[in-house]
Structure formats: C-alpha cells, structure tokens
C-alpha cells in the first residue's frame, strides 16, 4: 500500500512564521489556491480513503481533494498538530524576546524544544504511533491519504522509517506539498518527498 502525506495549505500564521500548534487558524487566500492545486495532484495517486486532522486548516485543505476524489474525509484528533504551549501565536523572534530562558544561544531544534504547556514528547510520540497504526490498518487498500501538519508529519515519517525519535529530524514539509510512503512485503520505503512543483507560483 501507499500512504500519501500532504501538509495543509498556507495560513496567515505560516506566512509570518508563527507557532500555530493547536490554534485553529483557517487557510488564507494562498492556502485555498494551494488546496485546489493539491487536489489535482493527489488525484493522480487515487487514494481510496482520505484522513485529515480535525483542525480547520487541514479540513479546509481536504475539501477540494475530497470533492475531486468523491471521498468523505475522516477527521480525527489523533492527527492534530503538536501543541507548542506558551509559544503558540508567537513568531520565533517574539518567542526569543519573551522567553529568552528557553532560547539561549542558537535556536534549539524544534523536536527537542522544552517549554511550559507544550504536549509531553512521549505522549506526542504515542499519538503519532496511533495515527500511523490507523493508516497502516488500511493495508487492504492500494493507497490512503492524510492531510496533516508539518511537525506531526515530520514525527510520523521518523516513526515510519524507524529513525531515532530523539535524534535530529531531517524532514521539512512545505505548505500543500506531497510525500509518498510505501509498504510492500513488510518493507517500508520513502518514494517521494516534499513534491511541490505543481504549485507553480505558490511554490514558496
């Protein structure tokens, strides 16, 4: 089977590099255009089931995809973005000024950042594992798709490939970009990563 991963389209918070986390922020005009272009791209993979986070930016991204593929999206909070606690709504610069005690020296990698109110890392990992298990449970289908979030998709790919969850996370997902995973005879492969050329002028 193939698992088609796509990050949601752009929001105003994405455009100015704010921590979004679980803040429920809709797509902006660019994000809505990206969602329409993404629908055309995902149709080429013919997923037979469509999953999405229950946050509005993912569900809005899924709508044109669902219409194109004639699927009913399955919105599940297990696919919701990581919660950044006190940082949500802030840019990196604002976060460093307001909470310098957590940003001494160079900015730490996102996966190892530790601030009050954020989702406990081990609980987040278990949630990602549960989400991956839901996708893998559809093994009777040729392909399924997930419209999700950057940090969540990063963690999911690390889990899928068996990489060190506590080590560096090497992936970065652009808005409305597509990545493709494959499970074949028990072997797991990354077939395509962060494909976004179809976005044209939105490819930024």
pTM above 0.85, yes or no: yes
Choice among 8, 60, 149, 151 that is catalytic: 8
Residue ranges covered by each domain of the chain: 2-202
Q: Note the pLDDT tens digit of each residue in 149-178.
A: 999 999 999 999 999 998 888 899 999 999
Please tell me the CATH superfamily of domain 2-202, with its number: Phosphoglycerate mutase-like (3.40.50.1240)
Q: Mark out the alpha helices in the chain (DSSP H runs).
A: 12-15, 29-43, 56-69, 92-98, 121-136, 150-161
- 59 closest CA partner among 71, 69, 74, 44: 74
Choice among 60, 81, 88, 202 that is catalytic: 81
Our CA angle for 18, 167, 155, nearest 5°, is 55
Pairing of strands 49-52, 143-148: parallel
DSSP string, 162-179: T--TTS-------TT-EE
Classified as helix, coil or strand, 147 is strand
Per-residue pLDDT of the chain (204 residues; tens, 9 = 90+): 999 999 999 999 999 999 999 999 999 999 999 999 999 999 999 999 999 999 999 999 999 999 999 999 999 999 999 999 999 999 988 998 999 888 776 666 777 788 999 999 999 999 999 999 999 999 999 999 999 999 999 999 999 999 999 888 889 999 999 999 999 998 999 999 999 999 986 554
- Which helix (H) or strand (E) segment holds residue 190: the answer is strand 187-195
Q: Within a 10 A sphere around the Cβ of 103, how many other Cβ atoms?
A: 18
Would you call 122 a catalytic residue per the annotation?
A: no
- 15 closest CA partner among 31, 3, 32, 34: 31
Please state, in angstroms and rounded to a whole number, the distance separating the CA atoms of residues 126 and 78.
10
Would you call 149 a catalytic residue per the annotation?
A: no
Those residues with Cβ within 8 angstroms of residue 38's Cβ, 6 or more apart along the chain or in another chain: 6, 9, 61, 64, 65, 176, 178, 198, 199
């Amino acid at each position: 089977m193939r698992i088609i991963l796509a990050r949601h389209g752009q929001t105003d918070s994405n455009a100015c590099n704010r921590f979004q986390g679980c803040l429920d922020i809709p797509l902006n005009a660019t994000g809505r255009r990206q969602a329409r272009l993404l629908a055309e791209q995902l149709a080429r993979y013919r997923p037979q089931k469509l999953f999405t986070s229950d946050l509005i930016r993912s569900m809005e991204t899924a709508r044109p995809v669902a219409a194109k593929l004639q699927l009913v999206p399955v919105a599940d909070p297990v696919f919701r973005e990581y919660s950044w606690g006190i940082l949500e709504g802030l840019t990196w610069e604002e976060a460093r000024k307001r909470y310098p005690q957590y940003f001494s020296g160079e900015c730490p990698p996102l996966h190892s950042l530790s601030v009050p109110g954020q989702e406990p890392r081990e609980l987040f990992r278990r949630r990602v594992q549960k989400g991956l298990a839901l996708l893998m449970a559809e093994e009777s289908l040729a392909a399924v798709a997930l419209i999700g979030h950057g940090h969540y998709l990063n963690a999911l790919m690390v889990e899928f490939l068996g990489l060190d969850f506590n080590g560096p996370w090497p992936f970065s997902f652009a808005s409305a970009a597509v990545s493709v995973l494959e499970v074949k005879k028990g072997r797991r492969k990354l077939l395509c990563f962060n494909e976004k050329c179809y976005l044209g002028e939105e490819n930024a």
